[in-house]
Structure 1
C-alpha cells in the first residue's frame, strides 16, 4: 500500500476542507486526517534551511526502516511467522499507525524549536542504527562459527571432523618412531591407493592400510609410516589426488567437540532471540520517528508555501489499487491552481509539477 501526505489551505475550517477532499476521493482512495500540531516556527530563512535538511533526513530514515525490515525478515526465515504481522509500531499494524497518527507530545515537545526536534529524531535513529549494527555483527560472527562447526559434522570425509569416526584401535599410539596417517581417498581411486601407498615413500609399513569409513564420495584409510617421512608421504599422496587429513587422536576430543557445538548453538539461539526482540522493537521506534519527520516536513513546507499564520489541512491519502493516477488528476483539478502566499497561478500544462510543488505532497509517501 502507498500513503501520501498532502496539505491544502484550510481557509479557517480544517474539518470542512478535509471532508471536501474525502468526498471527492471517496470512490478512489481512503482518506484520513493527518494530525499535525502547531510548532514554534522561528524565521522563514531558518525554515528554508530546515526544509532541505528534512529531505535528506527523510531518505536516511527510510533506509533505516527498510534495513530493519530486511533484518527482521532474515531472522524470521524458516519460522512459522508472517513478516507483516511482526512489523508493529506502538503495538499497531503499520497501516493503523499511519491512519491514526497522533504527534507524541510527551516525547517531542511542541514548545521546542523545529530544528531541535529534528535533531532529536535524527539522534534517536542514528543511535538505534549503531546498536543494531553492533548486535548484528556479533550475531553474524557467532552464526558463522556455528555453521563452520556444523559443516565439520556434516561434510564428506575429505573435510568433516574425524573425532568419533577414527577410533583408538585404528591408530598407533605412544610410539617413538611410528605414526598413523588418515587419508581420504576418492572412491574411483581405491585400486590406485591399494597399489601405490606402500611405495609413495620409503619407510611405509607394508599392509598397514585399512579402510575404516566410507561415504558417497570418499573412503577413509589408515596407513602407518615412520614419523620422519610424514611430510614427504603427504606431499606424494596429494600428487596422486589422495587427501591426507590433519588428525591427532584424542580420547576426549569428541566430547570437547560436542560440548563446543552445543555451547555455540545455544549462544546463537539466545542471540537470535534477543536480536529478534530488539529488531521488532526498534523497527517500531524508527518507523515512528520517520512518520514524525514526515509531519515536520508537511508543516515546514506548508508554512513556506502558504505563509503565516499556519492555516492548512493535512491529509493522508491511500489510493485504491489502480487508482493512483485518478487520485492525482482529481487533486490537480481541485488544487492545481494554487500559487502559494502571493496568489500566483500556475498553468496546468504540467500536472505532475503542479502536484509536487503546489499541492504539497512533499514526496512524503510511504509504501507498506
Structure 2
C-alpha cells in the first residue's frame, strides 16, 4: 500500500460538480473495470484554508488484472501500476500528490525542536518585556520634551519676542475634546478665526497654540 498527501481545491463547495456521474467510457467498452484503489476509511482531512484542502489517503500501489480469453487465444494477466494512474487522475482534478513516509525518529526530533523553539520564544519574550519596561519611561519623557519644545517654538513664531505666554496641560475626559476646544475658542479666540480650517493643510486653526497628546 501507499500513503500520500493530496492538496487541492475544495470540491465540496462546488455544487455544480456534486453528485456528478463517474465516467466509465463508451458503452461498448465496459467488459472490465477496476474499482477505486483507495483503502476504505483511509481518507483523512488534515487542514484547509480559504480555497484548498489537504488530505492523507492510502491507496494500492498496483493491481493484478487476471488473464482472459479473446476468442481462442488466452491473454495473460498483467500487473497495473495504480500509483501513477492515480496521480494522473488527481492532477486532472487539480490535486497535487506527494508521497508520505512515516519516520518515527522524525516525530521525536520535531517534538524536541518545537520544545527548543518554545524555550527560545519564552526567553526572548521575557527579555523584550523587561527591555520595554526599562525604556518606556525614558521614551515617554523624551516625547514630552519634544512636545514642550514644539509648544515653545510655535508660540514664539505665533506671538513673537519677547517670550510671554503661558503653557497649560489639560486632561480631557473621553469624547470631550471638541467641547473643550470650542470653550477655549470662545475664551481666547476671536470670532472671525476660531475653529476655521486652514485652506492649505486642512488643519484646525486657533488663535492659540493647541497640541494634542495621546499616549
TM norm structure 1: 0.35
**What CA RMSD, in Å, does the superposition of the two structures yield over aligned residues?**
4.3
Question: Aligned pair in 2 of structure 1 residues 283, 230: CA closer, same or farther (>3 Å)?
Answer: farther
Asked if 1:273 corresponds to 2:126, the answer is: yes
Asked if 1:348 corresponds to 2:191, the answer is: yes
Q: CA deviation at 1:303?
A: 2.2
The structure where helix makes up a greater share of residues is 1
TM norm structure 2: 0.54
- Partners of 2:45 and 2:151 in 1: CA distance: 66
Q: CA deviation at 1:316?
A: 0.4
CA contact (8 A) 2:194 2:206 kept: no
2:60 corresponds to which of 223, 232, 239: 223
Higher alpha-carbon Rg:
2
User: SS of 2:185's equivalent?
Assistant: helix
Aligned pair count reads 163
Q: CA deviation at 1:259?
A: 1.5
Aligned to 1:181: 2
Question: Aligned pair in 2 of structure 1 residues 229, 221: CA closer, same or farther (>3 Å)?
Answer: closer
The answer for unaligned runs of 5 or more in structure 2 is 12-17, 23-33, 48-54, 63-78, 198-203
CA contact (8 A) 1:181 1:244 kept: no
The answer for unaligned runs of 5 or more in structure 1 is 1-179, 199-208, 337-346
| Paired residues for 1:1-368 under 5 Å | 180-183=1-4, 195-197=35-37, 209=39, 214=44, 220-225=57-62, 231-239=84-92, 244-320=97-173, 323-336=176-189, 347-353=190-196, 356-361=205-210, 364-368=211-215
Q: CA deviation at 1:360?
A: 1.7
Q: CA deviation at 1:181?
A: 2.0
